[in-house]
Structure 1
Amino acid sequence: MTNAQTTEISEPLPRETIANLIAAIASQPERYALFFDIDGTLLDLAETPDAITVPNGLTDDLKALSHHLDGALALVTGRALSYADTLFFPHRFPIAGLHGTERRMLDGQIIRAEPTAEFLDVKQRLATLPESFPGVLVEDKGGAVAVHFRQVPELADHVGEAMRVAIAKAGPGYELQRGKMVLEIRPDSADKGRALDAYLAEAPFAGRIPVAFGDDVTDEAMFKLVNAKGGISIHIGAPTDSTLARKRLSKPQAVRDMIATILRKQL
């Protein structure tokens, strides 16, 4: 297998079905670059971020798929890069963590934005939020901070107000990102679309058809970028009119089954 080094993205097959896509990736891996969100896409969602589990065999399947693609596989996630590494240990993939705030390239080089003093102060203040709102979970991601209220959805308005105050104190350079039962403050210079675009400018991703898998509003920037480049955007979850993705898989297990099927077909 050889890396595609052309400067333009190839056009995908018209009205390509998931079955056709599986067959194409299995037989023509040099044409494709695959980008996966993690939570809700590769892995089933859990009540808390730390309760996420990695199914047996998935890490090795991802490594085998990356090898099949000559390395043109990346994870694009809201998780911190270091945490994503623990999920898929011992393998290390190109990862855009914190929605692209930090990004590891295929050669291992890491690019990341440094937090400001104002943002660090905001993180300290938010860490005390569960004292006022039991059941709320504050996740310190280093360059970003997320407040989860999946266990106490009735507190959504209170969390929203607290985060609006916090983003104002964080100052310029930060934005409030909404997700599934979570609000996050992160640098405004990064999103998953920009992270994916940066990968597509580098070998071995350059010149390939991008295929992006995601389940949340944070993945919409990735879908928009992929659609603009003639790629394939795949939403994971129930049918919805609120996504830019043009194809759908029902749940993370369907994504894992797709990966396993590609590997079986290419043997």
Structure 2
Amino acid sequence: MDQDLAAMRSKETSPQQQDAPDAVPVPHLLVPHLVTTAILLDIDGTLLDLMPTPREAFAPPELSRTLNGLLARTSGALALVSGRSLNDIDLIFAPDQFPAVGGHGAEMRLDPDGEAAETRAPPLDKELKRRLATIAKLSPGILLEDKGYSLALHYRLAPHAEKAIYESVSLIRADLPNAPIEVLPGKFVCEIKHSGFTKASGVRELMTHPPFKGRRPLFIGDDVTDETVFAIMPDFDGAAFSVGRRVHGVDGHFDTPSDVRTFLARLLDDQSVAQSP
């Protein structure tokens, strides 16, 4: 890790001692190193505020300027890392496209203008999806999202159904003890996917390709599924930041997605000033 990123780690207190977004190192500490940094960003709950339903998520107009600016400053080493499919990601950020790891590592795009390359992510068995889909009938407000390689049950509009959803999923899994599936708990969502790929496996693959290869990643995420990426940041001498909650072992935290967007905008603006004649 370079000197300033190392200083970021030593300067941070334990997660229990962090009080506010001020505990996150100020952006200018990273400015001299954007040419050697890979910026990796979760979307929902990190870049974007959580909405009642996944389809209501939207990217604020000013975020486009920030992300495109950072993409240029890092020579293309900025990627979105999400449980959403690449198609969903593109719909949210349209007309912009960014390098991305989608579907918890099931899909990857290395170049903003490139094609998606699926990475060993077979679709869920049709009969399994049919059985899981019946869980949505437990209560009004449970929304079913079929991603092909995974199936998500969103219950932000029916929080009372959380226990029943997980009990039903457990019963189905008990009937299929050898099925290669994994249950991912998230913020008001229960997602069932094939085992064998995660956001972390997707990031590991991403970091083997230019322009990410050889850079030190800066990852920001909020949910349980992001913890697999937090855990591998030391392998790349990288830094990790959580959003909305304090996670053991990360370098700092933000309170809200708005704080993340402000951080990134300041990072871009400070870099622009540093590079001006």
Match of 1:5 in 2: none
Match of 1:190 in 2: 197
Code of the aligned partner of 2:150: A
CA distance in 2, matches of 1:232, 1:68: 18
CA distance in 2, matches of 1:187, 1:105: 23
**Aligned counterpart in structure 2 of residue 143 of structure 1, from 140, 149, 160:** 149
Give CA deviations for 1:50-105 in whole Å, capped at 9, x if unaligned. Answer: 12121122123211111110000111101111100111112211111111011122
CA distance in 2, matches of 1:20, 1:131: 46
CA distance in 1, matches of 2:51, 2:29: 33
CA distance in 2, matches of 1:19, 1:224: 18
Match of 1:214 in 2: 221
CA distance in 2, matches of 1:46, 1:109: 27
Match of 2:15 in 1: none
Q: Aligned pair in 2 of structure 1 residues 10, 206: CA closer, same or farther (>3 Å)?
A: farther
Matched, 1:28 2:33: yes
Contact kept in structure 2, 1:122 and 1:170, CA below 8 Å: no
- 1:153 shift after superposition: 1.8
Gaps of 5+ in 1: 1-8
Match of 1:126 in 2: 132
CA distance in 1, matches of 2:151, 2:195: 13
Identity value in percent: 32
Contact kept in structure 1, 2:31 and 2:270, CA below 8 Å: yes
Code of the aligned partner of 1:115: P
CA distance in 2, matches of 1:135, 1:223: 32
Code of the aligned partner of 2:6: L
**Aligned counterpart in structure 2 of residue 255 of structure 1, from 257, 260, 263:** 260
The DSSP-based 3-state class of the residue aligned with 1:14 is helix
Code of the aligned partner of 1:209: R
Code of the aligned partner of 1:246: D
Matched, 1:42 2:47: yes
Moved more, 42-51 or 19-28: 19-28
Matched, 1:95 2:100: yes
**Aligned counterpart in structure 2 of residue 71 of structure 1, from 64, 70, 76:** 76
- 1:211 shift after superposition: 0.6
Match of 2:19 in 1: none
Contact kept in structure 2, 1:226 and 1:233, CA below 8 Å: yes
**Aligned counterpart in structure 1 of residue 240 of structure 2, from 233, 243, 251:** 233
- Tell me the TM-score normalized by structure 1: 0.87
Contact kept in structure 1, 2:24 and 2:252, CA below 8 Å: no
Contact kept in structure 2, 1:220 and 1:244, CA below 8 Å: no
CA distance in 2, matches of 1:114, 1:170: 20
The DSSP-based 3-state class of the residue aligned with 1:70 is coil
The DSSP-based 3-state class of the residue aligned with 2:122 is coil
CA distance in 2, matches of 1:129, 1:172: 18
CA distance in 2, matches of 1:148, 1:130: 9
- 1:20 shift after superposition: 5.2
Aligned length: 256
Gaps of 5+ in 2: 12-22, 273-277
Contact kept in structure 2, 1:94 and 1:108, CA below 8 Å: no
Contact kept in structure 2, 1:101 and 1:187, CA below 8 Å: no
Question: Which is richer in helix?
Answer: 2
Code of the aligned partner of 1:138: L
Give CA deviations for 1:178-211 in whole Å, capped at 9, x if unaligned. Answer: 1112111112111111111111111111111111
CA distance in 2, matches of 1:142, 1:170: 21
Aligned-CA RMSD value: 2.2
Contact kept in structure 1, 2:86 and 2:116, CA below 8 Å: no
